[in-house]
Amino acid sequence: MGKHARIVVEPPGPKARALIEKDRRYIATATKAHPLAIREARGGTVTDVDGNTYIDFVAGVSVLNVGFQHPAVVKAVQEQAGRLFHYAGTDFYYDAQVELAQKLDEVTPGNYEKKVFFSNSGAESNEAAMKLARWHTGRKRFISFIGGFHGRTMGALSLTASKAVQQERYFPLVPGVEHIPYAYCYRCAYGMSPESCGMHCAKVLEEVYFPTFLPPEEVAALFVEPVQGEGGYIVPPKAFVPEISRICREHGILLVDDEVQAGMGRTGRMWVIEHSGVVPDVLCTAKSLGSGTPIAATVFPAPMDFGPAAHSNTYGGNLLACAASLATFKVIEGEGLVANAERMGAYLNKRLSELQEKFDAIGDVRGLGLMQAIELVKDRRTKEPASEFRDGVTDFCFRHGLVLLGAGRSAIRFVPPLSTDESVIDEGIDILASALRDAAR
């Protein structure tokens, strides 16, 4: 039993099993990673209904960047709740919405006047970006990347190419989306190496796609995660996003930056695209924007605005969520969490690289800030994915007090709250090392 994790009943305990059984009876089938039935959470740990406490390396899939139940966020929501929960969405005027939009104007890349459309989830923020791109450009087609994840509503799902099961039985989707390989250097789709490829994975647009079947003058926008999330925490070469940006700019294609999982300080910058120096045309953010309250934002240059009634929703910019978001920014800035993410990310990467030296099953270690991953393989030479091995490792970790999630075909992602410290990371790595030894046996 460590300093942070505390297992008192073998999970799932009796109370957890009872809740899981009831969940299966009444709640529609969804993805469940572990039999974890959470009662409460504080800071960087979660406690289940049986009293087990776990180190959290998930942060609600990068939703709780400031940690669970941060007092400043709780207070802001309570104060707003005492005044007004909600009135009529986009039909009237509210100071919390305006204040948050102004904050997003200030902190997102680009020194120009911006406007914000509020919605409730990352998928909705990308849906809004799709409609905005068509509205503004008059063009109908889109480009997205294999391995990308932009949501599972019908429009956003048309952009997503993460797992086949996510699109199964839903065809036809929104027409006009073309997917191209991402800059996944560990598994290059073209069999090249970053030292000699000349950014072929970006230039292939101009060299192959545009001359043969994808007229660039028909493309409204290209959607990109500057670090892919669900696809496996793929970090592209530094020149990739700038080259994609150049191609978009030269052909009048909008560059849409999906920051839903990687934004809000996660990678050691407020926005992951800042690592590349590129200013996107549209930025989509959600998840940690509201620290657990449902809110998303699509941010774009003011002249690109929708026409009246061209797009709307009921709960976008909900006042409780706006209050939570404003408090979240204050916590991130006031507690230096972006800088801490950079420091602790370097430390976590170092510890994971040390494990790679000890365990042949770790084929790759990658990440930026506190968005780190290891990719598990059956053989380092063939790089054959070890999906079942990965699942065994994450299951062992769960049963010993560390919550992890997979990503891609055989990667494990590490996304602790940005307030994490070396003692939490060390204890988590110790559990992971035990899991790797157990799984190898």
- Residue 354 CB coordination number (10 Å): 13
Q: Are 201 and 183 in contact (CB under 8 A)?
A: yes
* DSSP code, position 410: T
Token couple for 246: 């150049």
pLDDT at 89: 75
* Extended strands (E) in 12-99: 38-42, 45-48, 53-56
pLDDT given for residue 440 in this prediction: 78
Euclidean distance between the first and the last CA atom of the chain, given in angstroms as a whole number: 22
* Secondary element (H or E) of residue 416: none
Q: What is the pLDDT of residues 384-402, one digit of tens each?
A: 999 999 999 999 999 999 9
Options 3.20.20.70, 3.90.1150.10, 3.40.50.620, 3.40.630.10; CATH for 14-56+336-440 is 3.90.1150.10
> How many angstroms separate the CA atoms of 222 and 20, rounded?
41
* Matching residue, tokens 């998928």: 123
Q: For residue 200, which amino acid is it?
A: H
List pLDDT tens digits, range 16-29.
999 999 999 999 98
Q: Rounded to the nearest 5 degrees, what angle is found at the Cα of 274, between the Cα atoms of 214 and 66?
A: 120
Q: Tell me, what DSSP letter sits at residue 307? A: P
Q: Is the peptide bond before 226 cis (omega within 30 degrees of 0)?
A: no
Q: Given this model, what pLDDT does residue 147 score? A: 97
Q: Which residues contact 264 (CB under 8 A, 6 or more apart)?
A: 62, 65, 270, 285, 287, 288, 289, 328, 332
Give the Cα separation of 6 and 356 in Å (integer).
27
Q: SS3 for 258?
A: strand
Q: Check pLDDT > 90 for residue 51.
A: yes
CA dihedral 132, 135, 136, 137 (to 10 degrees): 110
Q: Are 65 and 441 in contact (CB under 8 A)?
A: no
CA distance 417 to 4: 14
In this prediction, residues 29-42 reach a mean pLDDT of 91
pLDDT tens per residue, range 295-345: 999 999 999 999 888 999 999 999 999 999 999 999 999 999 999 999 999
Could you give the 3-state DSSP secondary structure of residue 161? coil
Per-residue DSSP letter, 377: B
Q: How confident is the model at residue 1 (pLDDT cuts 50, 70, 90)?
A: low
The pLDDT score that the predictor gives to residue 159 is 98
In whole angstroms, what is the distance from residue 426 CA to residue 431 CA? Answer: 9
Query: What is the distance between the alpha carbons of residues 153 and 143, in angstroms, rounded to a whole number?
Result: 17
Q: 172 preceded by cis ω (within 30°)?
A: yes
Confidence (pTM): 0.96
Mean of the pLDDT values across residues 275-285? 98
Least confidently predicted of 194-198, 211-215, 326-330, 376-380? 194-198
> What band does 148 get if pLDDT is binned at 50, 70 and 90?
very high
Please report the pLDDT score of residue 257 as a whole number: 98
Position 131 pLDDT exceeds 90:
yes
Q: What is the pLDDT of residue 90?
A: 79
Return the CATH number of 72-334, one of 3.30.930.10, 3.40.50.1110, 3.40.640.10, 3.10.105.10.
3.40.640.10
What does the pLDDT read at residue 202? 97
| 301 beta partners | 114
Burial of 223 from C-beta contacts in 10 A (0-12 / 13-18 / 19+): buried
Mean pLDDT of the chain: 96
Q: How confident is the model at residue 107 (pLDDT cuts 50, 70, 90)?
A: very high
Instruction: Report, as an integer, the average pLDDT of 358-369.
Output: 98
For the chain, what are the domain ranges? 14-56+336-440, 72-334
3-state secondary structure of 285: strand
